[in-house]
Amino acid sequence: MGGVSEIVASALLLAITVALLAFLVAVFYNIYTQQQGELALAQASRYCQVRIVAVFNSSGAASIWVYNFGQTSCAFTAAYALDLSGGVSAAAQISASVAPGALAAINTTLPYGYPGYRLATNNGQTVDWWGQ
């Protein structure tokens, strides 16, 4: 009675080991990428996500309307008037906060009529608006 040769047994064992290793690598890679995506989402949810929707003339000063579509409140500390090249023409200190899902007017002392405006948070985030 003949048995399986050592070469065939070794090749079969190697094939099973490689297949099992490929399966484990795929499982761990999928778990790793899923966790990385969740971490990126969790980190991004802490940042301010707003859009300037309009700028109105409020007795010669710019009143900037902001919509917060994020999940955290946004606190603004500065407003800037921008010229056509994107340079800052005027700056004003402000103290305004916009709750998640809210539309709010931020009154500034900036002159109305510039082609663009910028709001800045205390952590360095900025949002720009160019007149349409």
57 vs 87, 98, 103, 111, 119, CA distance in Å?
Answer: 21, 20, 17, 9, 17
44 by Cβ neighbours in 10 Å (0-12 / 13-18 / 19+) ranks as exposed
Residue range 48-69, pLDDT digits in tens: 889 999 999 988 999 999 999 8
Same domain? 34 vs 60: no
Same domain? 75 vs 21: no
Same domain? 17 vs 71: no
Residue range 77-129, pLDDT digits in tens: 999 999 988 899 999 999 999 999 899 999 999 999 899 999 998 888 899 99
Same domain? 11 vs 70: no
pLDDT of residue 64: 94
The range of the structural domain enclosing residue 4 comes to 1-44
Same domain? 76 vs 99: yes
pLDDT of residue 36: 78
Q: How confident is the model at residue 43 (pLDDT cuts 50, 70, 90)?
A: low
Residue with tokens 């047994």, as numbered in its chain: 9
Report how many domains make up the chain: 2
Please tell me whether residue 43 adopts helix, strand or coil conformation. Answer: helix
- 24 pLDDT more than 90: yes
Asked if residue 89 lies in contact with residue 82, where contact means CB atoms within 8 angstroms, the answer is yes
- 37 pLDDT more than 60: yes
Same domain? 70 vs 37: no
Same domain? 57 vs 1: no
Phi, psi of 7 (to 5 degrees): -70, -45
Same domain? 30 vs 77: no
Measure the CA–CA gap between 64 and 118, rounded to whole angstroms.
Answer: 9
Same domain? 124 vs 62: yes
pLDDT of residue 44: 56
Same domain? 40 vs 56: no
pLDDT of residue 111: 92
